A and B are shown apart, each in its own frame.
Chain A
Amino acid sequence: MIRDPASAARDPRTKAIGGLARLVTEAPWTLTRHDRARAHDAELDDATILHVIMLSSFFGYLNRVADAVGIELDYDVMVRPPPPDPETPPLVRPSHDERPAPDQGPLTITMRPGAIEALAAWNDHVMERDAPLTRAQRLLISRVAADTVGDASLPPPEPSDHPIVALTETIALAPWRLGEAALAPLREAGMSDEAIFDAISVAAFANFASRLNVALAALQ
């Protein structure tokens, strides 16, 4: 149950919520209108489906920042979660043909009060700055992150051997491999602590935003 919290659920609504969170986390581009119909059958309305997709995408952001920065467990828990297994293969990325068309699906974040304003304030700070990372670096990270989940609303990234690319891919596809070693190439490239955190923040945000885009576009 610790490994799969929804596995203990018996009622269709709880199972449907856990199933949607799993799809959003593992392969958001595989969602279809049939998943929406099945959720409706389990008594989830569109506002609830949107809530699951937004919340799971956002918690994926928090997971990635927590692991990339290396915070420790500071809550009193009855059962400690199992430690990450770095041998776990990275998440699969979709092929070009699997990417959903970047059209608006039946659900949009405008349906949730306050979402557009909160997202715009967050996006502006993360994407619309010239330091510590340059705008070109922010755009590169965004495109790399978009590519990992099949977000066709951004063009593919230009080839680059800058260490922010590898860090973005680890943050997006294998957060269980984050650690000091994942940050070392950025330090060796002369990046400050502030710049490294900036890269983590942009990569985790871009992963969240693209995951959300893809999940919502895939439902059409």
Chain B
Amino acid sequence: MPYLPLVGFRESTGALRDAYEAMMARPLPSVYRPSHGGEPGIIRAHSIDPVLLPRVFRFSGMLNGQGPLSWPERELVNATTSRLNQCFY
């Protein structure tokens, strides 16, 4: 259970709803879409601050949408970082 009250897309309203809809309209490889059909947890983790959410993922898109690292190389960087930080994400 999260330690803070997060709001998912289905329950969202107002500015958060708008932020979620903008996020979900982005091109995203299917492998990054959770099989439960909802938004990825790392996006929901930012739901307390609907203004922050798109700014963080704009930065993410700037790093992940293009090279020079290939997609598998980007995954290697992310997986190496996560393991050293002992994070499952």
The answer to whether residues A55 and B74 also contact, given A17-B69, A114-B62, A125-B52 and a CB cut-off of 8 A, is yes
Tell me, rounded to whole Å, the shortest Cβ–Cβ distance linking B1 to chain A: 7
**In the assembly, what is the distance between CA of A75 and CA of B77, in Å?**
18
Tell me, rounded to whole Å, the shortest Cβ–Cβ distance linking A142 to chain B: 16
Q: Does B42 contact A (CB under 8 A)?
A: yes
A81, B88: Cβ atoms closer than 8 Å: yes
Q: Does A60 contact B (CB under 8 A)?
A: yes
Q: Say which residue of B38, B83, B85 sits within 8 Å of A2 (CB atoms).
A: B83
**What secondary structure prevails in chain A residues at the interface with B?**
helix
Q: Does A206 contact B (CB under 8 A)?
A: no
The answer to whether residues A67 and B87 also contact, given A17-B69, A72-B41, A194-B48 and a CB cut-off of 8 A, is yes
Q: Does B15 contact A (CB under 8 A)?
A: no
Q: In B48-71, which residues have CB < 8 Å from any A CB?
A: 48-49, 51-52, 55-56, 58-60, 62-64, 67-69
Contact with B along A80-91 (1 / 0, CB 8 A): 111111001000
Q: Does B17 contact A (CB under 8 A)?
A: no
Tell me, rounded to whole Å, the shortest Cβ–Cβ distance linking A30 to chain B: 14
B83 cross-chain contacts in A, Cβ below 8 A: 2-5, 81
Tell me, rounded to whole Å, the shortest Cβ–Cβ distance linking A145 to chain B: 15
Interface size class of B (residues with CB under 8 A): 35 or more
Total A-B contacts with CB atoms under 8 angstroms apart:
170
Tell me, rounded to whole Å, the shortest Cβ–Cβ distance linking A176 to chain B: 4
* Identity of the chain B residue whose Cβ is nearest the Cβ of A193 in the assembled complex: B4
Tell me, rounded to whole Å, the shortest Cβ–Cβ distance linking A181 to chain B: 10
B49, A197: Cβ atoms closer than 8 Å: yes
**In the assembly, what is the distance between CA of A85 and CA of B83, in Å?**
12
Q: Does B36 contact A (CB under 8 A)?
A: yes
A14 cross-chain contacts in B, Cβ below 8 A: 73, 76
A45 cross-chain contacts in B, Cβ below 8 A: 68
B2 cross-chain contacts in A, Cβ below 8 A: 69-72
A residues in contact (CB < 8 Å) with B: 2-6, 9, 14, 17-18, 21-22, 24-26, 45, 47-48, 51-52, 54-56, 58-76, 80-85, 88, 112-115, 118-119, 121-122, 125-126, 175-176, 179-180, 183, 193-194, 196-198, 201
B residues in contact (CB < 8 Å) with A: 1-6, 34-36, 38, 40-42, 44-46, 48-49, 51-52, 55-56, 58-60, 62-64, 67-69, 73-74, 76-89
